[in-house]
Amino acid sequence: MSDETKGTFTSDPAGTAAKPVKKLSRRTLLKGAAAVAGAAAGSDAIRGFPTIWAQEIKDIELRHVGVSYSVVKAIGDQAAKDLGFKVTMQNLDTSAAINRFISQPNTVDIADLEGWQAKLAAKRSVIQGIEVKKIKEFDNILPIFTKGEIDGHKIPRQGISPYEAMYIAKPDATDLNDGVTEWATFLPQVYNADSIGYRPDLVGHEVTEWKDLIDPKFKGKAAILDVPAIGIMDAALCFESAGLIKYGNKGNMTKEEIDFTCNKLIELKKEGQFRATWTTFDQSVQLMAAGEVVIQSMWSPAVAAVRVKEIPCVYAPVNVKNGKEGYRGWCNGMGLMKHLSGKKLDAAYEYLNWYLSGWQGGFVARYGYYSPVPSTAKKFLTPAEWAFWYEGQPAPEVVNDPYGVPMEKAGTKRDGGSFLDRVKNISCWNTLMDEAAYMNKRWNDFKVA
Amino acid sequence: MQPSPSPQLGSSRSNLAGWLYVSPLVLVLVPFFVAPILVVLTASFFATDGFGGLTPGFTPASYIEVLHSALTLKLYLATIKFTVLTWIFTLIIGFFVAYFLVFHVRNQLLAIGLFLLCTVPFWTSNIIRMISWIPLLGKEGLINQALLAMGVIHQPLEILLFSDLAVVIAYVHQLTIFMIVPIFNSMARIDKKLIEAAIDAGASRFDIMRLIVVPMSKSGIALGTIFVVSIVMGDFFVVKVMSGGGSASVVSAFYEDVGVLQYPTAAASAVLLTLVLVAIVSLILRTVDIRQEITQ
């Protein structure tokens, strides 16, 4: 998941006048939920500052910069309210974001990084290591991130997995460390497993394999993501699924593999397979909702946004089979910029701790993303929401989106099943290949063909 | 375009005045154009470690790579195709709109009113103007629905949207005003008596157009052409959205280079494009002495 030029789903699917009212009830509900959950954990992280500190921090402003699906204004507003200092959320697309982190590091306080961006940011020395001891919930972060495994299942490392990008040996190290240390490059905050969205009414059968995207049956009705670094991985998943090639590492292809993949894409384009390619969230929603395409690589909230328009759309469960298929995983985390120090650094740590304390986890769950600390997110979700989003059970009642608009009817099940079913079937992660420059050139050949 | 004062103006006093006249433009151009382009020029000769790190130096490697790539040629062909098509349509539409406003609308107030009306679409953002074509041109869009309902076609026309046609439509919609304004401006200065005299002397409408109106609007046409050509060649967003990602342009390609932190090649492509544009603009300026025509 990546580029978004201007679309944000925060404003998109829910364009109703009833919003403020619903929002109010959502807040009351949250308060209730927090109260029921007890004063146990979350609350001391949220309001535990001595008054003097509260006086000193109120002039602090943290600038959290990143892509719109990860850096969300509503979350920043809530953080500011709970923490007592100012939080400004700024959105850029993926490439603008990494360029800004690298070329103007002092204009950013918290960088929202994908795994591969964390690797680059460390290499360029624009971030400082996060002292994991200072992160209260660190031990509750899923081992997917901290140890590279879950439930005894090893998380694949095609592409750059979050675990791989997570550690550095010293706070100012520039190279990643293979294995757990006391210093993290970034603190995972939101992630998901991406696959294909399709119109079940028009496709006519259940889609569980990537190769359906390149099936000639859907000629002129398919679309693919046009962010080279990850679009090529979606294409690779398709070609592998169709048995055309077996990649050594989809996340780090050789020049020959890049050539094969791009030539095949050019061939498909000339045959008229692709109706379009898309770069922003809104474009993908529109392509599907306007009937331009019936199958395309897609992001989870985009599928939800199509469904809110009462147009049937399914997010294909592409579970790993015979070493093929699988989801393309992505994860965004927060990095501390190097220039942070003193009170501002303390505030930044408070902010990171707030992020993992549950409110944000509950918020992103309602559009289908996951929190690295589900145990805290659970406190901010109703039992029905938890059952639907995390456990993959039929929704016991109507499920609302983060802004309170009804999204799923009672009885529907999340596509792909439970949290574990989905993340265990991630087969590769968003990345920047070693041959990125070459790949980019060949991708442009595809575009201009 | 080239505001430098004529050297043969004589006394140092008028020379000073000349420099004072251009100083506002110089104050804008130096920090916002000359300085950035020098930075880009410098970066284009640096080497990179592939992770966004630049090594100062002087290597033509990026230029060699850009100039040796068949992709560069394809990108230029695609961009020039869009430029030429857009130029032709904006010129035809812009010329006749200006002609109508100047010669057929008798009431000057009405002419100015209609002229301002042409700018109404520009009250909203570029992006909205572009995106609003999608519900009109789409597979389930208004045009396809109307044609289907009338029985003219049986399958929705796919070529209307996410195609080169759609790109050109969006450009023409966005850029015609840049033709109308300068052409209107130069036509408005044509002395109407000249045309009356031509009619009296027995010239046909076509002759008037060919021998009077077109030659005397040349400066406006040249200015409009410069605007349209440089905007289309420097754009990538319209291509990206309206072609549905199905096409690329010179700028979109190096924008993506920046996305993967390949700064030197992106800079080299940018310098190359600047040179190409400078060449095109100077060719246009050779056909017409804009300074003379404007100060006339």
What is the maximum alpha-carbon separation in chain A?
Answer: 68
Bridge partners (DSSP) listed for residue A61: A86
Q: Where exactly are the structural domains of chain A?
A: 19-191+332-387, 193-328+404-448
Tell me, yes or no, whether B59 lies in a domain: no
- The structural architecture, per CATH, of the domain A193-328+404-448 is 3-Layer(aba) Sandwich (3.40)
State the Cα–Cα distance between residues B12 and B18, nearest whole angstrom. Answer: 9
Cα distances from B176 to residues A37, A420, B216, B229, in angstroms, run 62, 56, 20, 12
Tell whether B64 is covered by a domain.
Answer: no
Contact residues, chain B, for A434 at CB < 8 Å: 50
Query: What does the DSSP assignment read for B233-266?
Result: HT--HHHHHHTTTS---HHHHHHHHHHTT-HHHH
pLDDT of residue A4: 41
Q: What is the per-residue pLDDT for B265? A: 92
Best mutation target among A265, A284, A441, A442 (most B Cβ atoms within 10 Å) is: A441
Looking at beta carbons, which residues of chain B come within 8 Å of A276?
162, 244-246
Q: Which fold has domain A19-191+332-387?
A: D-Maltodextrin-Binding Protein; domain 2 (3.40.190)
The answer as to whether B167 is a domain residue is: yes
Confidence at residue A50, expressed as pLDDT on a 0 to 100 scale: 55
- CB atoms A291 and B252 under 8 Å: no
Domain-located, residue B35: no
Predicted ipTM?
0.76
User: Which phi-psi region, left, alpha or beta, contains residue A320 (left: φ > 0; alpha: ψ -120 to 50)?
Assistant: beta
Q: Which of A6, A226, A441 sits opposite B245 (nearest CB)?
A: A226
What would the pLDDT profile of B219-253 be if each residue is shown by its tens digit?
A: 999 999 999 999 999 998 899 888 888 888 999 99
| The predicted structure's pLDDT at residue B125 | 84
Rounded Cα gap, residues A317 and A300, in angstroms: 11
Question: A351 — contact with chain B (CB < 8 Å)?
Answer: no
The answer to whether B260 contacts chain A (CB < 8 Å) is: yes
HSE of A252, CA atoms in CB hemisphere, 13 A: 7
At position A388, the amino acid (one-letter code) is: F
Structure confidence at residue A2 (pLDDT): 43
Q: Mean pLDDT: which of A432-441, B1-10, B166-175 is highest?
A: B166-175
Cβ–Cβ gap A444/B265 under 8 Å: no
Instruction: Indicate yes or no: CB of B262 within 8 angstroms of CB of A275.
Output: no
Question: How do residues B94-138 score in pLDDT, each as one tens digit?
Answer: 999 999 999 888 888 998 899 888 888 788 888 888 888 888 888
Question: Cβ of B160 under 8 Å from any chain A Cβ?
Answer: no
* Test the B interface: residue of A224, A230, A444 with most B CBs within 10 Å: A444
Number of domains in chain B: 1
Q: Which residue of A has its CA nearest to B54?
A: A124
DSSP alpha helix (H) spans, A342-430: 342-355, 359-365, 374-377, 383-389, 419-423
- Give the predicted TM-score (pTM) of the model: 0.80
CA B259 centroid distance within chain: 25
Residue partners of A50: CB distance under 8 A and separation at least 6 = none
Q: What is the pLDDT of residues B248-261, one digit of tens each?
A: 899 999 888 888 88
Put simply, whether A273 touches B (Cβ < 8 Å) is no
Write out chain A's pLDDT in tens, 449 residues.
444 443 444 443 433 433 444 444 444 444 444 444 444 444 444 445 555 666 777 789 999 999 988 999 999 999 999 999 999 999 998 888 999 999 999 999 999 999 999 999 999 999 999 999 999 999 999 999 999 999 889 999 899 999 999 999 999 999 999 889 999 999 999 999 999 999 999 999 999 999 999 999 999 999 999 888 889 999 999 999 999 999 999 999 999 999 999 999 999 999 999 998 888 788 899 889 988 899 999 998 899 889 888 899 999 999 998 888 999 999 999 999 999 999 999 999 999 999 999 999 999 999 899 999 999 999 999 999 999 999 999 999 998 888 888 888 889 899 999 999 999 999 999 998 989 889 988 998 998 88
Question: Alpha helix (H) ranges present in A181-244?
Answer: 200-203, 228-241
| pLDDT score, position A1 | 44
Is residue B45 included in any domain, yes or no? Answer: no
Tokens of A152: 């005894």
Domain span including residue B272: 71-253+265-295
Per the domain annotation, does B237 fall within a domain?
yes
- In this complex, is the C-beta atom of B241 within 8 Å of any C-beta atom belonging to chain A? yes
Tell me the backbone φ, ψ of residue A88, rounded to 5 degrees: -115, 125
A434 inside 8 A of chain B by CB = yes
Given a contact cutoff of 8 angstroms between Cβ atoms, the answer to whether B264 and B46 are in contact is yes
State which H helix or E strand residue B85 sits in: helix B70-99
Residues 292-321 of A with CB under 8 A from B: 292
| Residue B176 within any structural domain of the chain | yes
Q: Indicate which CATH number applies to the domain containing B238.
A: 1.10.3720.10
Cβ atoms of residues A70 and A351 within 8 Å? no
For residue A8, the SS3 value is coil
Residue B224 lies inside a defined structural domain of this protein:
yes
Token duo for residue B281: 């603009």
Fold agreement (A19-191+332-387, A193-328+404-448): yes
- Please name the residue that has the structure tokens 């992006």: B127
Q: Find chain A residues with C-beta within 8 A of B259's C-beta.
A: 94-95, 98-99, 228-229, 440
End-to-end CA gap in chain B: 16
